[in-house]
Amino acid sequence: MRHRIFRQNSEQDVFTDLLFNTLLGFAFMFAIAFMLISTPEKAGDIESKAEILITIRWEDKHPDDVDALVEDPQGGLVWYHNRDTGLMHLDRDDRGVFADNITINGVKVSNPINQETVTVRAAQPGEYVVNLLHYKSNYSEPLPVTVKVEKLNPSVSMVYYGTHQLTGSGDEKTAIRFTLDAQGAVANTSQRPKKLITRATSAKS
């Protein structure tokens, strides 16, 4: 009888130890997972800060190709052949319907939106020039293109919003010129024409 009781107690002790170790293992794995979520590696961080966002849009699914050309106060120029200069970056180069369709796992996915965006990551005092280039035209009718310039910090404010008519391949128009002061505030705007594509192509060659 005493042997049977001892055997039962031993079996219960083994089961209790196994259960305790299992729970301890789950708690340890949970703690490790929580630490990995809470403290990501600094090397994986992505700096997404921007001061100015420039967006140009034209009709969705339209086959024409429109390009943004933006000049900073130091003379740096961002366009489709130079996507990054100084503190500016061309985030999206849209070529109309070209490359709007991609196939993922045998399924065709379409992005009908025609949009180019340029970000200014830090405000430099001086004048910025935002031009539109009708790179490729497929119709004789003018193409309306909207331009939006937003100042993002300390809160979002509209610097400019307007629509411009592009009239065919090679047509370049100055949408807006804006000047930032030493504090990063918009001090002046104008629409005096300034050609940028000639300088851009000569620099490329």
Question: For the segment 109-130, what is each residue's pLDDT rounded down to a tens digit?
Answer: 555 688 999 999 998 999 999 9
Query: Looking at the predicted structure, is the pLDDT value of residue 45 above 50?
Result: no
Tell me the average pLDDT across 43-68: 81
Q: For residue 176, how many C-alpha atoms fall within 13 Å in the half-sphere facing its CB?
A: 20
What string of H, E and C letters represents the secondary structure of 5-39? HHHHHHHHHHHHHHHHHHHHHHHHHHHHHHHHHHC
Considering only CA atoms, which of 115, 130, 111, 112 is closest in space to residue 57? 115
Cα 62 to chain centroid, rounded: 22
Strands 84-85 and 186-190: unpaired
* Pair of tokens at residue 96: 């109309």
Nearest to 160 by CA among 146, 172, 171: 146
Which of 99, 162, 187, 95 minimizes the C-alpha distance to 134? 95
How far is residue 38's CA from residue 32's CA, in Å, rounded to a whole number?
10
pLDDT band (50, 70, 90) for residue 154: confident
Residue 151 identity (one-letter amino acid): K
Please state the pTM of the whole predicted model. 0.69
Q: What is the pLDDT of residue 98?
A: 44
Strand locations in 72-111 (E): 77-78, 84-85, 88-92, 101-104, 107-110
Q: Measuring CA to CA, which residue among 40, 69, 42, 43 is closest to residue 56?
A: 69
* Averaged confidence pLDDT in the chain: 80
Neighbours of 158 (CB within 10 A): 10
- Is pLDDT above 70 for 1? no
Q: Is the pLDDT of residue 60 over 80?
A: yes
